[in-house]
Amino acid sequence: MQGPLIDTLVRQGVSRRTFLKYCATLASMMALPPTAGRAMAEAMAAARRPSVIWLPFQECTGCTESITRSHSPTLEGMIFDMISLDYQETLMAAAGHQAEDARLAAMKDNAGKYLLIVDGSIPLGLDGAYSCIGGRSNVDMLKEAAKGAAAVIAVGSCASFGGIPKANPNPTGAVSVSDIIKDKPIVNIPGCPPIPVVMTGVLAHYLTFGTLPELDDKGRPKAFFGETIHDRCYRRPFYDQGKFAKTFDDEGARNGWCLFELGCKGPVTHNACATVKWNGGTSWPVESGHGCLGCSEPDFWDAGGFYKALSVPADPLKIAAVAAVAGAAVGVGLSFANRSKKGAAKSAHETTTLADLEK
Amino acid sequence: MSLDAIPIHVIPHHASPAAPGEPGLTGNAPPLLRELAEQVRRLLESGESSAIDLSALPLSPADLDWLREKLGSGEISVTLQASGESTLKETACPGIWWVTHHNEQGAVTAQFIEVAFVPELVKAHPQDVEIGREQLELLISDL
User: What residue segments make up the domains of chain B, in order of their start?
Assistant: 30-141
Residues A154 and A295 in one domain: no
Q: How confident is the model at residue B11 (pLDDT cuts 50, 70, 90)?
A: low
The CATH number of the domain holding residue A236 is 4.10.480.10
B83:A358 CB<8 A: no
**A256 and A333 part of one domain:** yes
Confidence of residue B20 (pLDDT cuts 50, 70, 90): very low
Residue B28 predicted with pLDDT over 90 = no
Q: Is A39 on the interface with B (CB under 8 A)?
A: no
Please give the pLDDT value at position B137: 95
Radius of gyration of chain A from its Cα atoms, rounded to whole angstroms: 22
**A50-84 tens-digit pLDDT:** 788 899 999 999 988 887 765 544 445 555 666 77
Indicate the length of chain B as a whole number.
143
Beta strands in A231-308 (DSSP E): none
Lowest-confidence range among A3-7, B93-97, B111-115? A3-7
Quick check: A181 pLDDT over 90? Answer: yes
Q: How many CB pairs under 8 A join A and B?
A: 108
Last residue of a domain, one of A225, A257, A290: A225
Would you state the pLDDT for residue B121?
87
Q: What is the mean pLDDT of residues A174-188?
A: 95
Q: Which phi and psi (to 5°) does residue A117 adopt? A: -105, 135
User: Which range of residues forms the domain containing residue A265?
Assistant: 229-358
Residues A141 and A100 in one domain: yes
**A5, A7, A8, A17, best to mutate vs chain B, most B CBs in 10 Å:** A17
Residues A178 and A233 in one domain: no
Judged against a pLDDT cut of 90, whether residue A139 lies above it is answered with yes
**Residue B96 predicted with pLDDT over 60:** yes
For domain B30-141, the question of CATH label 1.10.150.20 is answered with no
Which whole number is the average pLDDT over A147-174? 94
B83–A18 C-beta distance less than 8 A: yes
pLDDT in the model for residue A160: 96
Q: How far apart are CA A288 and CA A265, in angstroms?
A: 15
Predicted confidence at residue A359, as pLDDT, reads 42
A358 CB neighbours in chain B (<8 A) are 1-3
Percent of chain A surpassing pLDDT 70: 81
Q: In the prediction, which pLDDT does B133 show? A: 94
SS3 A70: coil
pLDDT at position B6, please? Answer: 72
| Confidence class for position B95, pLDDT limits 50, 70, 90 | very high
The string of DSSP codes covering chain B is -PPPP-------SSSPPSSSSSTT--S-SHHHHHHHHHHHHHHHHH---EEEEGGGS---HHHHHHHHHHH---S-EEEEESSSEEEEEE-SSTTEEEEEEE-TTS-EEEEEEEESSS-GGGSPPHHHHHHHHHHHHHHHHT-
Mutate: best of B83, B118, B127, B129, partner A, most A CBs <10 A:
B83
CA pair distance A58, A139, nearest whole angstrom = 11
Q: Which of A203-217, B4-18, B69-83 has the lowest average pLDDT?
A: B4-18
End residue of a domain, out of A206, A225, A244: A225
> What pLDDT is recorded for position A289?
92
Q: Does A318 touch chain B (CB under 8 A)?
A: yes
Assess whether pLDDT exceeds 50 at residue A203: yes
Number of independent structural domains in chain A: 2
Which of these three, A171, A199, A225, is where a domain ends?
A225
Average pLDDT, chain B: 84
Lowest mean pLDDT among A328-337, B3-12, B90-99: A328-337
Which pLDDT value is given to residue B8? 65
Choosing among A10, A18, A25, A232, which should be mutated to test the B contact, i.e. which has the most B CBs within 10 A? A25
Residue B119: is the preceding peptide bond cis (ω within 30°)? no
What mean pLDDT, rounded, does chain A reach?
Answer: 80
Average pLDDT on A197-211 reads: 80
3-state secondary structure of A133: strand
B39 exposed, middle or buried (CB, 10 Å; 0-12, 13-18, 19+)? buried
Note the pLDDT of residue A336.
Answer: 41
Interface check for A326 against chain B (CB to CB < 8 A): the answer is yes
For residue B91, what pLDDT is reported? 96
Mean pLDDT over A148-176 rounds to 95
**pLDDT-based confidence at residue A247 (cuts at 50, 70, 90):** very high
Residue A166 pLDDT level (bands cut at 50, 70, 90): very high
| Residue-level pLDDT at A340 | 40
Residue A123 has pLDDT above 70, yes or no: yes
Give dist(CA A316, CA A312) in Å, integer: 9
Give B103's pLDDT tier (boundaries 50, 70, 90).
Answer: confident
Q: A235 and A215 in one domain?
A: no
DSSP A167: S
What percent of chain A has a predicted confidence (pLDDT) above 90? 38
Q: Does the pLDDT at position A321 exceed 50? A: no
pTM of the entire predicted model: 0.70
Query: A240 touching B, CB under 8 A?
Result: yes
Instruction: Please give the residue that has the higher pLDDT: either A38 or A280.
Output: A38
Question: Does residue A301 share a domain with residue A261?
Answer: yes
